[in-house]
Amino acid sequence: EDQVTQSPEALRLQEGESSSLNCSYTVSGLRGLFWYRQDPGKGPEFLFTLYSAGEEKEKERLKATLTKKESFLHITAPKPEDSATYLCAVQDRVRGSRLTFGEGTQLTVNP
Amino acid sequence: GAGVSQTPSNKVTEKGKYVELRCDPISGHTALYWYRQSLGQGPEFLIYFQGTGAADDSGLPNDRFFAVRPEGSVSTLKIQRTERGDSAVYLCASSRPTSGLYNEQFFGPGTRLTVL
């Protein structure tokens, strides 16, 4: 069974204070690892897909990286509008299209 | 371009009642998914449609839950004899055909179901 563990559960940063969120996973053949952002009362918003170890993707202040056991979401010089819950999910080659999500990291960026 | 839409946005019902939740996917997306999210948790998979047929319904918790997608577009999640434990946000997502890469799932805003 696929497992996804995210840490920390919650993170408070000052504006401009860079940090990283962790996503550890166990999967029977990784098909893809996905990062989503979720604001309160809204559905998850797609950020990145990573397919193989060593891959990196960037979008504005966010950079996602992938190894064989974990993924990191690096946030550089965050702003208050980056405050949200960040969700990590995996898709495996055996069960195909379903996503298995972690519990998320709640990020708060103070001005 | 329109995203995934879900109606109603909120539904309050009494224990034992029947409810229907509707999802309208992104135009051209043949794959449709239902997830359930409890407070403080990540979404949990329920069922996946490719076209009109349920390709994977192994996430449905019991036989009180059923979903249809008769014309390969709009889907309805149906819950019979609701229980208080069914209270959650029900999320719908859609994606392009899942045979290749670039099959990212795009989520709707969800329906918050409260069973009193």
The vertex-A10 CA angle with A4 and A15, nearest 5°, equals 125
B51 touches chain A (CB under 8 A): no
B114 in contact with A at a CB cutoff of 8 Å? no
Which chain B residue has the Cα nearest residue A34?
Answer: B104
Q: What is the pLDDT of residue B103?
A: 78
Distance from CA of B53 to the nearest CA of A (A): 14
pLDDT at res. B102: 58
**For residues A100 and A90, is the Cβ–Cβ distance under 8 A?**
yes
| pLDDT above 90 as % of chain B | 84
Are A74 and A65 in contact, with CB atoms under 8 Å apart? yes
Give mean pLDDT, residues B79-103: 87
Q: Which of B35, B57, B58 to probe the A interface (max A CBs under 10 A)?
A: B35
Q: By the CB < 8 Å criterion, does A27 face chain B?
A: no
> Which of A90, A97, A105 is the best substitution to test chain B (most B C-beta atoms within 10 A)?
A97
Conformation bin of residue B99: beta by default, left when phi > 0, alpha when psi is -120 to 50:
alpha
Confidence at residue B99, expressed as pLDDT on a 0 to 100 scale: 59
pLDDT tens readout for residues B27-82: 989 999 999 999 999 999 999 999 899 989 999 999 999 999 999 999 999 999 99
Task: Work out whether the CA dihedral A89, B25, B50, B19 comes out positive or negative.
Answer: positive
Quote the pLDDT of residue A93: 86
Q: Taking 90 as the threshold, does the pLDDT of residue B113 lie above it?
A: yes
Per-residue pLDDT reduced to its tens digit, A40-97: 999 999 999 999 999 999 999 999 999 999 999 999 999 999 999 999 999 988 877 8
**What pLDDT does residue B98 have?**
61
Please tell me which of the candidates A41, A42, A99 has its beta carbon nearest to residue B105: A99
Q: Two tokens at B61? A: 């918790």
First-to-last C-alpha distance (Å) of chain B: 37
Q: What is the nearest CA distance from B108 to chain A, expressed in angstroms?
A: 6
Burial of B22 (0-12, 13-18, 19+ CB in 10 A): middle
Given a contact cutoff of 8 angstroms between Cβ atoms, the answer to whether A21 and A102 are in contact is no
Average pLDDT, chain B: 94
